[in-house]
Structure 1
Amino acid sequence: MNHVQHTGSWVRRLRGDEGSAAIEAAIILPSLIMFLCLAIAGGRIVTSGAKIDAAAEDAAREASIHRTAAAAHSAAQAAAAESLSDQGLACATTGVLINVSGLRVPVGQVGTVTVTVTCTVRLSDLLLPGAPGTRTLTSTATSVVDQYRQRGEE
């Protein structure tokens, strides 16, 4: 009788679910890794967007302190390029649009300078090396021109 009980427990042990944990891990692990990679990629894209925001703010601030539109244009271009470079963001193409109409308002009135920075980033730089495609990130910032500061002639 004892011999039969001993054999029955051995059969139950063979039919147990000890191997199912490995199968569950093999099914779930790839999806968890993919989710983690997507989360990291999303974070890198958001971080790059913040870097573009900072570049636009720097360019707008720099343009607003100049007295002429020509000086504001060149200062904003240089500030955007320097900000992107300092932050380690390599753009495949970069565009800087500057609206300096605020420099033309009469002294004593409030004017603004608006700068839009566009950066096309390769996905291989953001995600994994060899990833195809690009992502274009755009940010616009506005800076107030000192209303009592003398403006230059064009």
Structure 2
Amino acid sequence: MDTAPLRRGSGSERGAVSLEVALLIPALVLLAALTTASWRVHQVRGDAQSAAETAARAVSVAAGPAAGVSAGTQVARADLAGTDCRNLQVGIDASGLSVPVGSPGVVGARVGCTITMSDLLLPGLPGSFHISAQAEAPVDSHRERGS
């Protein structure tokens, strides 16, 4: 049995844990910020697509083109209220409501907005991203329409 006392290091490894932590923390912060940015883009893309689909459906059941544009715009804005979307742009194509009864028609909605990333403090990441989505909906060809 060896009864030699345990030898401590010569001191060359002193501070190694501090150095590892100093290198690890920025990497973890960067990973957390990238994850947050990715989640934010994914969430707003889903919100924008949902708003475009809802707006297109609202246009498709409107009485006429003017009412369709108004309804689609209101629905899209209401759907995106309270989200991270800024500088919202809504475009409505209600031309499908102008076709004669008995003819098939299609209406559409396009939604665009900007999301900011400047609060994440990521070097090299742009300060904002533009997100856009579009959707179409069929118009009931046998329903009477107004003007």
TM-score normalised by the chain length of structure 1: 0.78
SS of 1:147's equivalent? coil
Kindly indicate whether residue 69 of structure 2 is the aligned counterpart of residue 78 of structure 1.
no
Whether the 8 Å contact between 2:41 and 2:115 is mirrored in structure 1 is no
Give 2:76's aligned amino acid. Answer: A
Partners of 2:127 and 2:16 in 1: CA distance? 40
SS of 1:13's equivalent? coil
Query: Out of 10, 21, 28, which is 1:14 matched to?
Result: 10
Q: Give the unaligned 5+ runs of structure 1.
A: none
Match of 1:136 in 2: 130
Query: Out of 12, 22, 30, which is 1:26 matched to?
Result: 22
C-alpha deviation, 1:32, in angstroms: 2.1
Whether the 8 Å contact between 2:64 and 2:97 is mirrored in structure 1 is yes
Query: Out of 117, 124, 149, which is 2:143 matched to?
Result: 149
Question: Alignment identity in percent?
Answer: 34
C-alpha deviation, 1:64, in angstroms: 0.6
Query: Out of 30, 35, 47, which is 1:51 matched to?
Result: 47
Partners of 1:122 and 1:93 in 2: CA distance? 11
Larger-Rg structure = 1
Partners of 2:11 and 2:116 in 1: CA distance? 53
| Cα 1:33/1:134, change in 2 over 3 Å | closer
Kindly indicate whether residue 120 of structure 2 is the aligned counterpart of residue 117 of structure 1.
no
Match of 1:42 in 2: 38
Aligned positions, number: 143
C-alpha deviation, 1:92, in angstroms: 3.4
* Higher mean displacement: 91-100 or 75-84: 91-100
* Higher mean displacement: 22-31 or 108-117: 22-31
Give 2:62's aligned amino acid. Answer: H
Partners of 2:117 and 2:12 in 1: CA distance? 47
Match of 1:100 in 2: 94
Structure having the larger proportion of residues in helix: 1
Give 1:144's aligned amino acid. Answer: P
Query: What is the RMSD of the two structures over their aligned residues, measured on CA atoms?
Result: 2.7
